[in-house]
Structure 1
């Protein structure tokens, strides 16, 4: 049960740091958070843990905060800014992938100790990288559009939880399906594939639900830039 209880605390740390990043740095902090989270999520995913008898990967909590950030941008600054943030995160992920692949090409000195560790972290198969990038771009754009549509029907301030959870839970389902299909279809048997798909989405589902109080807290923070909210 250690991983479960530690995981709860780990999620809280992620949410609190997210709040601090927005409180201290405003809209720029949300863009910076998305950039950092896309990189950290793809580093954490190489580590597997066991919880309740199931093997799962890390990275789902920090990845879930990306949806939290884009939904908050959509809520306070408009759909255009949320879309810009999606592309910013996508560029960050592509940039990191390209640069680190080039880093791995350099021949290490005989005294070097980092090459094998860097290969373990960044030498991912192209199939995994393709799955991650494709799933990110499609699901994030879907999340932005769904949030905007839900805001038309559920526009009251107290209905933010519907906009946030409705858009995130649907888009993360698509994200999980796309990534698992590209990365793992044909690699594992279908029963194992279904277990990976199910456990990954369940974790994302609970992370999304747990993040709801934090988006309400973040919405209450005031920054001067909100006066120039861009149009959609």
Structure 2
């Protein structure tokens, strides 16, 4: 039975896409606590535009490295497995993100070993447990924010993808993939940061200093601009993966799967 499932190409492809989808979603949650400077990472001076009364530069959450990939995976799964296929994986990802949140909370409240607390002083970490609590605690609120943003973003991505495809048919892959991603990322970019860095620090002492609303909005704008640019840049990648899938499945099988996907969505 297992051998038959593994040999079935559409099933094997669904497992591959789903595993990559879920893994990227969870990793994005874990690394999202870090705020990095895109300009400094690229070796250029910060832009320092004025947005919402704050000097704006591309200070982004590290999670933006992976979320565009998650939504592209969503579009590819939607293309061949329909809304039900995306919904099933979204529920799995959301459940595992919630599980990660619970494990973070459990780990935070474990009593640390005495020697471990001062084990990293030579690395400029005077209290390892305090650092652990602060970073994972803040990450927990990112997870809370991302769960809501993720599920809402997935709904918007799938619905907009479906509607664009109904109009364009099999043409303009770039329009339905990139367009649906840009719509969903607009909501995701604002909601997750607002919950993680504006609401979270105001209700929990492990969250660090709360951000001002202007700071949250300016960083939200930076995150979305980045995601917008990345979505455009990754358009050729979408075509490359799409062509690979067509060859892997065979054009006849791929065509049937896409027709069934649209039929399931319409029903």
TM-score by length of 1: 0.79
Structure 2 match to 1:138: 152
**How many residues of Structure 1 are paired with residues of Structure 2 in the alignment?**
209
- What is aligned with 1:180? 193
Query: C-alpha separation between the residues in 1 aligned to 2:74 and 2:68?
Result: 10
Alpha-carbon distance in 1 for matches of 2:97, 2:189 = 17
**Is 1:76 the counterpart of 2:80 in the alignment?**
yes
- Aligned match of 1:64: 68
Alignment of 1:155 with 2:169, yes or no, is yes
Larger radius of gyration: 2
- C-alpha RMSD of the superposition: 2.7
Q: Which residue of 2 aligns with 1:111?
A: 115
Q: d(CA) in 2 for partners of 1:109 and 1:185?
A: 33
Aligned residue number for residue 35 of structure 2:
48
Match of 2:227 in 1: 204
Aligned to 1:4: none
In structure 1, distance between residues paired with 2:211 and 2:135: 22
Q: Is the 8 A contact 1:64 1:204 kept in 2?
A: yes
Q: Does 1:37 align with 2:50?
A: no
- Deviation string 1:132-161 (CA, Å, 9 cap, x unpaired) is 2111111111111111111100112x4110
Q: 1:188 to 1:122 in 2, by over 3 A?
A: closer
Aligned-pair distance for 1:188?
Answer: 3.3
After superposing the two structures, state which structure 1 stretch, 53-62 or 184-193, moved more: 184-193
Choose 125-134 or 30-39, whichever is displaced more. 125-134
TM-score under structure 2 length normalisation: 0.69
Provide the C-alpha distance between the structure 2 equivalents of 1:100 and 1:189, rounded to a whole number of angstroms.
26
1:191 matched residue in structure 2: 214
On the 8 A contact 1:61/1:207 being kept in 2, the answer is no
Contact 1:70 1:85 in 2 (8 A): no
Deviation per CA, 1:152-194: give whole Å up to 9, x if none: 00112x4110001111101110111222333344743343233
Q: Which sections of structure 1, spanning at least 5 residues, go unmatched?
A: 1-24
Shift of 1:103: 2.3
Q: Is the 8 A contact 2:182 2:231 kept in 1?
A: yes
